[in-house]
Amino acid sequence: MNVKLFVYPYPCDYERFKTFLNSRSSIGQPGVDVHVRHESEAAVMHVLFLINEGALVAATADDNLHLWNYRQKRPEIVHSLKFQRERITCLHLPFQSKWLYVGTERGNIHIVNIELFQLSGYIINWNKAIELSRKTHPGSVVHLSDCPVDPSKLLIGYESGQLVVWDLKSRVAEVRYQCAESIKSVSWHHEGKQFMCSHTDGSLTTWAVKQTSPKPSSVIFPHAKTNKEGKQEPCKSIQKVEWKCSKSGESFVIFSGGLTNDRAGRTPSITVIHGKTTTVLEMEHNVVDFATLCETPYASDFAEPYALVVLLHNDLVVVDLHSQGYPCFENPYSMDLHESPVTCCTYLADCPADLIPAFYSVGARGQKRQGFSEKAWPICGGKWGASVATQR
């Protein structure tokens, strides 16, 4: 089953904005589009699926963790956990693990038992993780992930650029790194021997886990240009990077942002580096988030990416990574209401169960628009007839 979930606050009138500010939309196969909402007015900040468990975890702006169960007909919150004195900034749940790692603005990491939905008592304090000689606070936790080949090693990324590989068993910092620039995101290579960071200056740095030098093994500015004076032009932040490998030997490095200042304000983009080829995919709206669809959920395997889901402020696009030029898949969902004023609306009650699937079927047989991928919509999760409403 393949379902992608995003936090999606619509930029429109206040009441609708307020509704979507604390709701989530889960999109699956054509026709499967589910919305669930918290009772509080707090915005949803982070969302994580419990893969193959029929559940998900959401962190809200009031520093609550909520466990949603959507196995039954009506999704509901089955557990909630309040963080009293620390603001949640980062979540990580390893595949098939019962331990949820929660990073905070104060730089500490708490560990939650996902089955009991209670704090375990294991805390990684920031002053234990960083260098003892360091006098300044490293900032909030911006990244948490376990090593693909050793789940007992937790990689912690702090806002200031400090990185720590923490040994969960011995409860000590095994390796420490210091980036020259603030960290925006981190992504492991599947072999677990190196990882890549994206930074606020538009750079990508690669670090070896067992390195002897205090410097990264490589530093690149994918979109930097040299001006007439021979100086490198500044670039915008690379907000997120994902490093995915395939058995063919050529890896994918996919990231958002990083363009030079003269282009960044007018050209929202996703960049795909595949082997020696760099492709900039220009987007119509600003990029909120993206996720790579892969053949396996196991971080230590070749990911074999086949599609890229990009959430924009006013749209959702899915890019075909297997076709030349990376065309978009034709989106089977209804248009964005912001694109054109609505001039007519009809309400039909007591409709037969197969009416909406029939609409999608008719639309799919229509004339195919040019410039889109020839492949079928790649997200296939969910089933028809799962509506929670008493009337269809």
**pLDDT at residue 41, rounded to an integer:** 78
pLDDT grade for 131, boundaries at 50, 70 and 90: confident
Name residue 197's beta-bridge partners. 186, 205
Whole-number Å distance between alpha carbons of 251 and 231: 30
Measured on CA atoms in the order 336, 338, 341, 344, is the torsion positive or negative? positive
**pLDDT at residue 252, rounded to an integer:** 96
More confident residue, 226 or 16: 226
pLDDT grade for 5, boundaries at 50, 70 and 90: very low
Residue 4 has pLDDT above 50, yes or no: no
Of the CA atoms within 13 Å of residue 232, those in its CB half-sphere come to 12
Residue 216 has pLDDT above 80, yes or no: yes
Residue-wise pLDDT for 77-122, tens only, equals 999 999 988 999 999 999 999 999 999 999 999 999 999 999 999 9
Residue 327 has pLDDT above 60, yes or no: yes
**pLDDT at residue 138, rounded to an integer:** 94
More confident residue, 369 or 214: 214
Q: Which of 72-76, 139-143, 332-336, 367-371 has the lowest mean pLDDT?
A: 332-336
Give the number of other CB atoms < 10 A from CB of residue 375. 14
**pLDDT at residue 56, rounded to an integer:** 92
Whole-number Å distance between alpha carbons of 275 and 266: 27
**pLDDT at residue 244, rounded to an integer:** 96
Nearby residues of 380 by Cβ (< 8 Å), 6 or more positions away: 1, 2, 28, 29
Residue 254 has pLDDT above 50, yes or no: yes
Kindly report each contact of residues 30-37 with a partner whose C-beta sits within 8 Å and lies 24 or more positions away, as own/partner: 30/332, 30/333, 30/360, 30/364, 30/377, 31/332, 31/356, 31/357, 31/360, 31/384, 32/3, 32/381, 32/382, 32/383, 32/384, 32/386, 33/333, 34/70, 34/75, 34/382, 34/386, 36/68, 36/70, 36/75
Whole-number Å distance between alpha carbons of 239 and 231: 24
Residue 267 has pLDDT above 90, yes or no: no
In the chain, domain spans: 1-82+346-384
Residue 196 has pLDDT above 80, yes or no: yes
Residue 193 has pLDDT above 90, yes or no: yes
Whole-number Å distance between alpha carbons of 273 and 334: 31
Average pLDDT along the chain: 85
Whole-number Å distance between alpha carbons of 61 and 44: 6
**pLDDT at residue 40, rounded to an integer:** 83
Residue 364 has pLDDT above 60, yes or no: no
Residue 2 has pLDDT above 80, yes or no: no
pLDDT grade for 68, boundaries at 50, 70 and 90: very high
Give the mean model confidence (pLDDT) for residues 327-339.
Answer: 73
Of 244, 367, 368, 248, residue with least CA distance to 307: 244
Residue 232 has pLDDT above 70, yes or no: yes
**pLDDT at residue 73, rounded to an integer:** 76
Residue 359 has pLDDT above 80, yes or no: no
Give the mean model confidence (pLDDT) for residues 229-237.
Answer: 87
Whole-number Å distance between alpha carbons of 270 and 384: 32
